[in-house]
Amino acid sequence: MKTLLKCAAVTGAALACTASPALADDEYTTDQIAPSWTAASAESCADPDTSPLLSAFKDDDFYAPAPGGTFETGAAGWQLEGGASVVATPGDRTVTGNSDSALDLPVGSTATSPTFCVDERYPHFRFLLAQATEKAEAEVRVEVLYPGLADKNVRKAKDLKAKYQGRWELTDRIKLEPLHGLKKGGGWRLVAIRLHVKDAKPGSVVRVDDVLVDPRARA
């Protein structure tokens, strides 16, 4: 694996990321989410290969990319809406090494990851943010989806305020809450991550790369 860099330069842009004040809407909402949980899904679940990808950030947890979360092969199963796309970023370096592409999110756009398997050992995730617009900031809503639930299957995990900084910034740990809505703990389930740029100046673009999940696994 390539040498980890604490902050990777982004051509012409980037941002700092801090938690914004809580918004007035509810923490849990209900959406029509597919696919639903199936027995076949459970049979296919297994722990991913992990490594201390964020050790340069003084985070020694072991992480694995979420499905398609490095965006090196395009959208790779991510559902992109409202102008979201995967764009080339030649020459960039992030925590997983050289980065040739990243997720591009204009104001109002949404990106939803493929579903992936978690259990009670998967406490949180982190990712990199960057902004391609000077003198701009954006409100980014981060949600966790629980497609096996019929009600309260969307949790507002974090609201982030993104400010132009000139480099990639790593988010704080964002909780997955893998036991949400379960009467009994333990066992695999499916979740997904949804990112939405709620508010920003016209023309502003937020970039995302290296969506990493912590399964608390150790080599």
Q: Which CATH number does the domain housing residue 100 bear?
A: 2.60.120.260
pLDDT for 64 beyond 90: yes
C-alpha distances in Å from residue 132, one per residue of 15, 87, 104, 148, 162: 8, 12, 9, 36, 11
E strand residue ranges, 107-153:
110-112, 116-118, 124-131, 137-145
Is 193:68 a contact under the CB 8 Å cutoff? no
Task: Evaluate whether residue 71 is within a structural domain.
Answer: yes
Question: What does the mean pLDDT of the chain come to?
Answer: 80
Between CA 155 and CA 164 the distance in angstroms is: 27
pLDDT for 2 beyond 60: no
Task: Evaluate whether residue 210 is within a structural domain.
Answer: yes
DSSP states of 37-77 as a string? P-HHHHHH--PPP-B-TTGGGT----BEEPTTTT-TTTTTT
Nearest residue to 56 via CA among 128, 118, 109: 128
Please report the pLDDT score of residue 205 as a whole number.
Answer: 85
Task: Evaluate whether residue 10 is within a structural domain.
Answer: no
Q: Is the pTM of this model over 0.85?
A: no
Please report the pLDDT score of residue 17 as a whole number.
Answer: 35
Task: Evaluate whether residue 145 is within a structural domain.
Answer: yes
Tokens of 199: 């508010």
DSSP states of 94-112 as a string? ETTEEEEEEEEEETT-EEE
Q: Which domain holds residue 169?
A: 60-214
Segment 84-101 shows an average pLDDT of 83
Task: Evaluate whether residue 219 is within a structural domain.
Answer: no
pLDDT tens profile 99-150? 789 999 998 999 999 999 999 999 999 999 887 676 677 889 999 999 888 8
Task: Evaluate whether residue 104 is within a structural domain.
Answer: yes
pLDDT class of 32 with cuts at 50, 70, 90: confident
CA dihedral 8, 83, 34, 189 (to 10 degrees): 10
Task: Evaluate whether residue 3 is within a structural domain.
Answer: no
Task: Evaluate whether residue 50 is within a structural domain.
Answer: no
Domain count of the fold of the chain: 1
Between CA 210 and CA 8 the distance in angstroms is: 12
